[in-house]
Structure 1
Amino acid sequence: MKLHKASAAAAAVLVLSLTATACGGDSGSGDGGGKKITIGIKYDQPGLGLKTPDGKFTGFDVDVATYVAKELGYDAKDITFKETKSADRETALERGDVDFIAATYSINDERKQKVDFAGPYLLAHQDLLIRSDENVAKGEDLNGKKLCSVTGSTSAQNVKNDFAPKAQLQQVGTYSECLAGLQSGAVDALTTDDSILAGFAAQDQYKGKFKLAGLKLSNENYGIGVKKGDKAMVDKINAALEKMVKDKAWDKAVADNFGPANYKNEPAPKIGNIVK
């Protein structure tokens, strides 16, 4: 009787072991095969990465990420989009919270010490969003003004270091907070990339209230962030980006997401060509 119980227990352990192994094979990262992929994006950037009230995701970064994921072997249903704020991007990749990040992630030397980049897939320029009845002719005009940007972004420090060291810099968690401050008069300008600003300015509730200053304060080469050392993933993403440009899906994504804002985009950049 004891032997029978022991055998039954052993069989139960074996079944549980096999079940766990089978379940483990259907989760985690990898190239297709029924597995899932988690991609870091922004949730609050119209035209680039936006989570809509009905739970859908829209924007140029979302379209690029979806295209890349498909080339890696994942259907749209296999993708989980995870909000990745500017200050959290490097940590999210290091911890393995996401497989890659497409979130207006400008390639620079400091970030390349912590993560690897595929791309670039878009060349943007830093600009200012100001109220429609005001003008800023040059970056230096921001000295003494209240300037808002997002913690962890390069934009605010670019202005402080290179153009207007006496600007009163306010750094907050999201661009939406900056926009609220600009609308109320609490800040004088919101600074980040022209692509991001164009998306905000094109929203129905803001049309006619804000405008781009039209300054090209810097070049921002958007790359797809990958965990440091994962060269195989970088190579696969670069191949997908090259295909996206070649088959005109890149042009369509630009028109779909930036067309309403009358955004004057640069041509698709060459892989590995970082414009200083």
Structure 2
Amino acid sequence: MRTALTIAGSDSCAGAGIQADLKTFYAHGVYGMSVITAVTAQNTKGVIGIENISADMVEKQLDAIFTDIKVDAVKVGMLSNRDIIKSVSRKLKKYSPDNIVLDPVMVSKSGHTLLGPDAKDILLKELLPLCTIVTPNIPEAEVITGVTINSINDMKKSCKVIFEMGAKMILIKGGHLSTDPVDILFDGKGFKYFIGKRIHTKNTHGTGCTLSSAIASNLAKGYSVEKSIVKAKEYITIAIQNSLSIGKGIGPTNHFYSIYKKCNMLKEIGEFKNEC
């Protein structure tokens, strides 16, 4: 069975972070593992508090996985301080997994800062060059590059800046555009565009985590980066279209919608008689 490892923070309401990643891995038929970097107290209304795991414990978790189980892909999410970033970078250099997806989590949807200002430079210098692909949204790309993004041309300019920082491939997500969303992939040679339709729902908690972990899942299964993005976008689109109105704020996507739908179809035709 193919495997994927998420290195990220825990989300107590389970819409984002480690919990969203593990749900996504499962939905793709990939065995999921986790290294927890921080514990957050949060719900659909926002982040209440964050407590980091020690860098030493993060390293122990990484050693525990890599010395025992083959890792086909890694998704890296919330790394909130310099010591943790350095520890993760050091271990990824040591174990050299084939596929690393970096989702540079910097600010939550509720506006809570998740990456310390002194940690950004370490992230870009030490971790970014190790990754197969980095997947910032527009606000994150603006923080990384200093480029104000209002158009597709601005996104392309930002891609080039991130490439010059050492990234191998960059996918800037266009959900924050005023038009229909367009994601742009840049590999240093050319651009590829992934054009979508805006889905009108407030329930988008964890979409970035979910997309990046879906890309990692597909890379683990042997797909190319471009094909992994296509399949991941198909998955997240369905998850957003069938998002869940849970809580009083921004609800989560529906990670298991396609699985539940398939189970119900099999029940209807009499080929699946047990409870899903």
TM-score normalized with structure 2 length:
0.30
Larger Rg: 1
Larger RCO, structures 1/2 (Cα 8 Å, 6+ apart) = 1
Which structure has more strand as a fraction of its residues? 1
TM-score normalized with structure 1 length:
0.30
